[in-house]
Amino acid sequence: MKRTLVNSLLFLVQFVPLKRNGFIFLVFTLLVSLFLRNEYYGEESQFTPFLLTFAWLIGVFAGLVIGFGLLYTLFCWAYLAIKSRKVSIDLSIGLEDGQKGVAGLVPVKLSLSRVIMPIIGYLKAWVVFEDGSMVGPVVIHKFSGGWKDLLFKEGEASLHLTKRAQYNVKGYIFSFEDYLQFFRFSYFKKFKKAFYLYSQKRDVPPTDIPPSKAREELEKVKTSKRVEGDFLNYKDFESGDDVRRIVWKIFAKNKELVVRIPEIINPYASHLHLYASFQNSLLGVDRKYESGMLDYYKDIIYNTCIQIEKSGRKVEFSIDQTVDDSLIVDKKDQLAYFLSCAKWKKDQLVDQFPSNGSVSVVCVSSLVPSEELEELINKRSAILFIIRVSNYLDQQNLFNWTNMILRNENQSELGKLRWVLSRQRRRIKQNERKIAELVETDLFQGQLI
């Protein structure tokens, strides 16, 4: 509720015509006028005509300068408002295929037609999302075509988009500002666009997962894989066997001709089905910690899957929720897209993952109560990866005083200090200590990351 109110206020502020510079100038002018009125009003002297003339000239000059900027900026705004139906907008994420990118500092290019730039002024654009949040500004500052496309403009910026999620654009706010930045006239243009940002690269511990026997013969891979232990078997020598495989040490002892069974090259892939649970039963209503831990959890899962695939195994990925199908993505991008769309859930227990034997690995967070994890461990139905999401803040530097002064977004040390002293942290840490004890038991199969 609080966040929604803040977003609404930020949205409405963009439509206030008087900017900070204009407000300061207006207050300064009023104060100077009051001072001159108190000092010189009613007193006649030989300098009075000259002072009045000088003040009149300054007022006329200031009025012309400010008035011209005001009227021309207002004209540019009115032109966009009249031609709004014909305005074409193109938002390019600047990464890969235009609909995906890595979360963080994201390069953005915004192009639009049918606009007139204020003379020596500014045209700024803010991107507004469906949830009410907005990012920007993107300064439209250059022509993207020649004389033929003189009205076609574009601008570039690097915007902080840190959530690993799908972003649904609701529209854009175009703000025309005069060269003194006294006035601002904004126009909201509805425009639908969707893109998603996926996980950043993180170092994860190496994984050692045995192949799924039920699936290892289904699909070939480019690199053949040797079957472990084939050289340990022997058989009696038969006609047609390679004499070079005769084990002469056995012949010297027993006078029997035996040969080693040749090593078999298995040309089939080692598959595994990785199932990610997004159950969250321990974290309270603090959306800031909840969102950051969710992104950290997604990063670990994503990089773990990438590491497994690099080792030559095929990963079949699924999650415990339905994924929004508003974007069409290639099969190779489904892992990144599914993780981006995933959210914490509170209504599904971790032991409700598919029980048909197709699951090889189950990923859960340390926000799952240790009692439920103990029940899952006792089933021994799958390898369990438990991710300690408290590392999201614990690994950051609490005493980065430069950052504390600058108050960088989502990195404030005041927020970290609240986390260190919070009751939620103690509750999660206590649960993670119990999980660490479960990991040490003989029944546990998997890793604590």
SS3 string, 182-230, reads CEEEEEEEEEEEEEEEECCCCCCCCCCCCCCCCCCCCCEEEEEEECCCH
Which pLDDT score is estimated for 217? Answer: 44
% of the chain at pLDDT higher than 70: 75
The angle, 0 to 180 degrees and rounded to 10, between the axes of the packed helices 334-341 and 287-310 is 160
In terms of Cβ atoms closer than 10 Å to its own Cβ (0-12, 13-18, 19+), residue 236 is: exposed
Distance, CA of 59 to CA of 71 (rounded, Å): 17
Please give the backbone phi and psi of residue 47, each rounded to the nearest 5 degrees, phi first.
-95, -5
Residue 298 has pLDDT above 90, yes or no: yes
Least confident span in 83-92, 105-114, 124-133, 258-267: 258-267
Which pLDDT score is estimated for 262? Answer: 63
User: Which 8-state DSSP code applies to residue 34?
Assistant: H
Quick check: helix, strand or coil at residue 18?
strand
Q: Which of 365, 370, 353 is nearest to 273 (CA)?
A: 353
Which pLDDT score is estimated for 299? Answer: 92
Which pLDDT score is estimated for 152? Answer: 65
* 260 compared with 364, residue with greater pLDDT: 364
Which pLDDT score is estimated for 302? Answer: 92
User: Which 8-state DSSP code applies to residue 149?
Assistant: G
Residue 77 has pLDDT above 70, yes or no: yes
The arithmetic mean of pLDDT across residues 26-53, rounded, is 73
Which pLDDT score is estimated for 303? Answer: 92
Sign of CA dihedral 280, 285, 289, 291: positive
Rounded alpha-carbon distances, angstroms, from residue 273 to 203, 210, 213, 324, 337? 22, 12, 12, 21, 17
What is the C-alpha R_g of the chain? 33
Q: Give all strands of the β-sheet with 153-161 in edge-to-edge order.
A: 89-92, 104-112, 153-161, 142-143
* 403 compared with 299, residue with greater pLDDT: 299
Residue 144 has pLDDT above 60, yes or no: no
Which pLDDT score is estimated for 211? Answer: 53
**Band (328; pLDDT cuts 50, 70, 90):** confident
Rounded alpha-carbon distances, angstroms, from residue 288 to 44, 170, 345? 66, 23, 16
Distance, CA of 3 to CA of 1 (rounded, Å): 5
Please give the backbone phi and psi of residue 15, each rounded to the nearest 5 degrees, phi first.
-105, 10
How many Cβ atoms from other residues are within 10 Å of residue 399's Cβ?
Answer: 9
In terms of Cβ atoms closer than 10 Å to its own Cβ (0-12, 13-18, 19+), residue 210 is: exposed
Contact (Cβ atoms closer than 8 angstroms) between residue 131 and residue 88: no
Contact (Cβ atoms closer than 8 angstroms) between residue 356 and residue 214: no
Residue 230 has pLDDT above 50, yes or no: no
